[in-house]
Amino acid sequence: MSGKLYAVGVGPGDPDLLTLKALKIIKNADCIACPKSHGEPGVAYGIAKDAVPEITSKELLLLKFPMRKHDLSDAHKKAAEQIIHYLSLGKKVAFLTLGDPGIYSTFFYIAAMIKKQGYEIEVISGITSFSAASAKLKLPLSLGDESLMITSGKYCESEGTLVIMKAGKKLKEIKEKAFARNKHIYLVENIGMPDEKVYFDSQSFPDEAGYFSLVIVK
C-alpha cells in the first residue's frame, strides 16, 4: 500500500489557531515530519504538540534545513528521500509548517521531488502570520480595490498595503524608507507565541528584531 504526504499549516503560533482539518490530519498521521532546530523539533512541532498532545507517541522525522541558501538543494533532496522511505512503507506522513504551507515554506521544494515518485500529496492550509497580525492590530490588510503585496525582508513600493515578512534584520532600513514616504508602519514579533510583541508606532521600534517578525506598511 502506498503512503500519502500531507503538508499541514499549523498557524502562526497560538495552538488554538490550528484548523479542524489540521488537527484531524495530525491525529491520523503515522509519522510527523518537521524541521529541526539545534537537534530538537522546531517551532511548528511545539505548536502542534500543544494542540495534539498525543503527537509525542507518533514516529518523528526531524529534517535538517540549513540557513545558508547554497546548502539547501542537498538538504531538500535528503529530506525528500527520508520522507519517501516512510511513504514506501505505506505510512501517512504529516509535514508541519508554520503559518500556511504556501507562504515561504520549505515544503514545496521537496514536494516536487516526492510527486515525481508517484506519491499522493495533500496540502492543508493554515492561518498566516500576517492574517493573525491583522487581527491582533485590528487593522484591515485591504479594503475595496486596495492591493496587498507580500515580500520577504524587503521594502517595495506599493500603492496598497505592504507586508514584509522576516523583517527583523532590516527594521532600520524599513523605518527610514517608510518615513520618507509618509507611511505608517506596524511591527509584530512572534505573533501568537508567549513572547509576542506588538508595536503600533515606529518610534518605539527596535532597530532589529527576531526572525519571526513582520511589518505592515500602510
Q: Are residues 117 and 177 in the same domain?
A: no
**Residues above pLDDT 70, as percent of the chain:** 97
Q: Which of 216, 128, 150 is nearest to 202 (CA)?
A: 216
Q: Are residues 120 and 87 in the same domain?
A: yes
Per-residue pLDDT, 70: 60
Provide the 10 A C-beta neighbour count for residue 88.
12
User: Can you say whether the dihedral through the CA atoms of 55, 56, 58, 64 is positive or negative?
Assistant: positive
In tens, the pLDDT along 101-129 reads 999 999 999 999 999 999 999 999 999 99
Q: Are residues 88 and 144 in the same domain?
A: no
Cell of 165: 515578512
Q: Which residue has the higher pLDDT, 12 or 40?
A: 12
Q: How many domains does the chain have?
A: 2
**Residues above pLDDT 90, as percent of the chain:** 84
Q: Radius of gyration of the chain from Cα atoms?
A: 18
3-state secondary structure the chain: CCCEEEEEECECCCHHHCCHHHHHHHHHCCEEEEEEECCEECHHHHHHHHHCHHHHHCEEEEECCCCCHHHHHHHHHHHHHHHHHHHHCCCEEEEEECECCCCCCCHHHHHHHHHHCCCEEEEECCCCHHHHHHHHHCCCCCCCCCCEEEEECCCCCCCCEEEEECCHHHHHHHHHHHHHCCCCEEEEECCCCCCCEEECCHHHCCCCCCCCEEEEEC
Quote the domain boundaries for residue 47.
4-124
Tell me the whole-structure pTM to 2 decimals: 0.91
Q: Are residues 115 and 134 in the same domain?
A: no
Q: Are residues 120 and 206 in the same domain?
A: no
Strand partners, 163: 150, 216
In tens, the pLDDT along 42-101 reads 999 999 999 999 999 999 999 988 766 666 788 899 999 999 999 999 999 999 999 999
Roughly how many angstroms between the first and final C-alpha of the chain, as a whole number? Answer: 52
Q: Are residues 120 and 138 in the same domain?
A: no
Lowest mean pLDDT among 71-75, 98-102, 137-141, 174-178: 71-75
Per-residue pLDDT, 1: 58
Cell of 25: 490530519
